[in-house]
Amino acid sequence: MGRMRIPPATIGGMNDAPEPSQGSPWRGFLLKLYVVVVVVTFAAVVGLVWSQEHAIGHELEARGRALFESIVLVRKWNSDHGGLFVEKKDGVVSNPFLEDPDRRGDDGTVYTLKNPALMTREISELAEKDANFRFHITSEHPVNPANKPDPFELAALQAFERGVEEETAREEIGGEPVFRYMAPLRVEESCLRCHAEHGYQVGDIRGGISVTFGISGEKDDIREMRWVAVAFFVGAAAFLLLFISRLVAALQRRVVAAEAQIREMALTDSLTELPNRRATTMRLELETARAARYGRPVAVVLLDVDHFKDLNDTGGHEAGDAILKALAQAGTGALREADLLGRWGGEEFLAVLPETDAAGARILAERLRTTIEALRVSQRDERFHVTVSAGVAAWAPSAPGCIPLDIDVLLREADAALYRAKGGGRNRVEGGSPSS
């Protein structure tokens, strides 16, 4: 048997039932979810960009450290060998800060001493011209004015005195971005030949070497990476928001369907699939309130299956259930579109008849009785003949001696009429006089 339809509570094109608000909790939930997705996506992208920039920073530091260590090794080699004498050709000048730096060979060739400091400066000049980086040896009290520290180097030298092992910075020199690395120079045994007179001891910091190299390419890479990250964030956020919108919409449909099913289950009798007592009472309250407001008649018919206990005892509960289901289907088919038949309890049913006076209710009650009387319910090898007794009660504002409409009074009258029908031999209709 198909599910019985609960007729709409609409009479004459009017509907007094309030419309439920649609979607407001979902809009708030979806908005919060959007905010969470955007924040998490943004944080993930920012974290990714930060990690990449951090990795680039580490790579720059490693490059600066490698260059520094390379020049320190070369200086150490120079110092360990007491300096390097080179032929004094055209363009080769003697170190003015060394005493007697020149030597003449047996063949008359003049050689000049390149100590570690001078060699560092000349290698720096060569590197700056050919490899886009330079070294600068410096100290807070340089002998050579050319080795005077700039602000970054001075701050680094002061930091070394506090125990800092290295310093880095990013600056712009001549409009070009550069990376700067500096680490201290410590006095070794080989350094004392030149610096012992200054009071240095092995391990003392006597200055530092700064390394400077261009990072235009890295800066362009970082800029490009940030634009890619922005594009990725926009694309990922848009995709996730669209995906979540559809997911939430599907979830909302499922929840709404589940809520509708739960509401229907709460208002529907599981056996007959008719409105249960609660739903029937709600509909009766609606129709009586409407009748009182607009001065229109309303009626009810209370039905009870005759000898149902005997039928149930004879055929068992399965037969009893089959009889109730068949009665529900036949009774609903005998009523009008606006009427409602509900299971009132056990083998009792209540028909709510809007816009119906006593005479009309009596006619409908007879139609219900004769329709059900014609039923033959088969269960296994038995066929059961079903009849009902019916009690009718009606209210109309124009009835003589009309009293205010009261649901309890209406139902008591229908119950009393049903009692008379049972006492009068069953399979009959009693009542139908307006309340007075």
Widest pairwise Cα distance in the chain: 155
Strands 205-214 and 167-173: unpaired
> Per residue in 355-408, pLDDT tens?
999 999 999 999 999 999 999 988 877 888 999 999 999 998 875 555 678 899
Q: Which residues contact 398 (CB under 8 A, 6 or more apart)?
A: none
The DSSP element (H or E) to which 390 belongs, if any, is strand 388-395
Res 387: pLDDT: 94
Q: Where are the domains of the chain?
A: 28-80+115-221, 268-434
Q: Measured between alpha carbons, how far is 283 from 162 in angstroms, rounded to an integer?
A: 88
30-55: average pLDDT = 88
Q: How high is the pLDDT of residue 401?
A: 53
pLDDT of 42 strictly over 70: yes
Q: Which of the two residues, 190 and 272, has the higher pLDDT score?
A: 272
User: Could you tell me which residue, 113 or 208, shows the higher pLDDT?
Assistant: 208
Over the stretch 62-75, which tens digit does the pLDDT of each residue have?
998 998 888 888 87
Residue 197 has pLDDT above 60, yes or no: no
Question: 83-97, 168-182, 253-267, 371-385: lowest mean pLDDT where?
Answer: 83-97
What share of the chain in percent tops pLDDT 70?
A: 87
Q: What is the DSSP string of 254-290?
A: HHHHHHHHHHHHHHB-TTT-SB-HHHHHHHHHHHHHH
What is the rounded distance in angstroms from the CA atom of residue 301 to the CA atom of residue 299? Answer: 7
Provide the strand spans (E) within 2-66. Answer: none
Say what the pLDDT of residue 151 is: 93
The structure tokens listed for 330 are: 């036949």
What fold characterizes domain 268-434?
A: Alpha-Beta Plaits (3.30.70)
CA–CA separation, 213 and 216 (whole Å): 10
**Which strands make up the sheet holding 110-114, listed edge to edge?**
84-87, 110-114, 102-104
User: Which pLDDT score is estimated for 102?
Assistant: 77
Residue 16 has pLDDT above 60, yes or no: no
Which strands, in side-by-side order, build the sheet including 340-345? 340-345, 348-354, 298-305, 388-395, 429-434
Over the chain, what is the mean pLDDT?
Answer: 83
Core vs surface per residue 25-40: b (16+ CB within 10 A) or e: eeeeebeebbeebeee
CB atoms within 10 A of CB 103: 12
Residue 139 has pLDDT above 60, yes or no: yes
Predicted pLDDT at 13: 37
Give me the pLDDT at residue 303, please: 96
24: pLDDT strictly greater than 50: yes
Beta bridge partners of 377: 384
Architecture of domain 28-80+115-221: 2-Layer Sandwich (3.30)
pLDDT bracket for residue 435 (50, 70, 90):
very low
